[in-house]
Amino acid sequence: METKLRFSTPNAKLKALAKRLGLKLKTFTLPSGFTCPGALECLSKANRETGKITDGPETEFRCFQASAEALYPSLRNMVWNNFNVLTSGTAKKMDDLQLASLIEESLPKFDILRVHVGGDFFSQKYFDAWLEVARRNPSRIFYAYTKSLKFWIQRLNEIPENFVLTASRGGTHDFLIDEFMLKEAVVVFSEEEAEEKGLEIDHDDWHAAYGKENFALLLHGTQPKGSVAGEALKKLRRAGKGGYPATEKKGDPRVLEEVAA
């Protein structure tokens, strides 16, 4: 097992944001599903060894990153390495400040960092560690989608200005979004649905990293054949409106990080 965390270059979609801003963007990811305590409607997991994907009992649309992990052993190796580093025997003995130092030691050069393309904040200590990393790097922007809303609420008045959080609707604690008026992202199956909800669609993560208002994300990734989500995705792709291609170059797992809630 490696002792450092591994970060990735963004896909074409996030590169568009970096180009627009003239800034360097990096991403970080963990095993999808396995590290997502608040997942519900998008709960999917790729077996660490075989890549076989399993959807949760209430999954309405499959997690795109779990699908990517299912396809690429090298991506599975990377995300599980990251999780193993963060949960090793040594890391378990650390407090949040020490864990923050462990994360910080691995940080690449960047201006903007998306925390979790796949996976989520799996414990309060881990969530707190990322807040501390942001405090130590005030000139950099950190942002994340999360369904781990209980950890967020516990630190509601302690979030650094440079750590931008978006609640991802469709989890086990959606009631907290309404109770605490959290900024949220909603996955929609069509542009018409976004319009009906009065939400602007985020096409390059600008709303997630810098926006203050709620927004929508078009359905994306690989969906189960014959499912409602699968049929909706077909329509989006035929219209050239969604789907977000998973790779820029066939077989390159480094660019599998699509925008996902």
Give me the DSSP letters along 55-83. Answer: E-TT-SS--HHHHHHHH-HHHHHHHHHHH
Where are the strands (E) in the chain, listed by range? 25-28, 44-46, 53-55, 112-115, 141-146, 163-168, 184-188, 200-201, 215-218
Q: How far apart are CA 66 and CA 44, in angstroms?
A: 6
Cα 168 from Cα 260, distance rounded (Å): 9
Domain boundaries, the chain: 12-255
- CB-based contacts of 59: which residues, under 8 Å, 6+ apart? 41, 42, 43, 44
Which residues make Cβ contacts (< 8 Å) with residue 40, sequence separation at least 6? 56, 58, 147, 170, 171, 172
Give the pLDDT confidence score for residue 245 in this predicted structure: 43
3-state DSSP percent of the chain in helix, strand and coil, to 5: 35, 15, 45
How far apart CA 9 and CA 25 sit, in angstroms, is: 7
Q: What is the DSSP letter of 202?
A: P
Among left, alpha and beta (phi > 0; psi -120 to 50; other), residue 181 is: left
Task: State the pLDDT at residue 253.
Answer: 40
Report residue 241 as tokens: 């409106």
Q: How many CB atoms lie within 10 A of CB 214?
A: 20
d(CA 31, CA 241): 28
pTM: 0.87
**Residue pLDDT tens, the chain, 261 long:** 578 999 998 877 788 888 888 999 999 999 999 999 999 988 999 999 999 999 999 888 888 899 899 999 999 999 999 999 999 999 999 999 999 999 999 999 999 999 999 999 999 999 999 999 999 999 999 999 999 999 999 999 999 999 999 999 999 999 999 999 999 999 888 888 888 999 999 988 999 999 999 999 887 666 666 676 666 666 666 666 655 444 333 443 433 333 333
On whether the CB atoms of residues 83 and 30 are closer than 8 A, the answer is yes
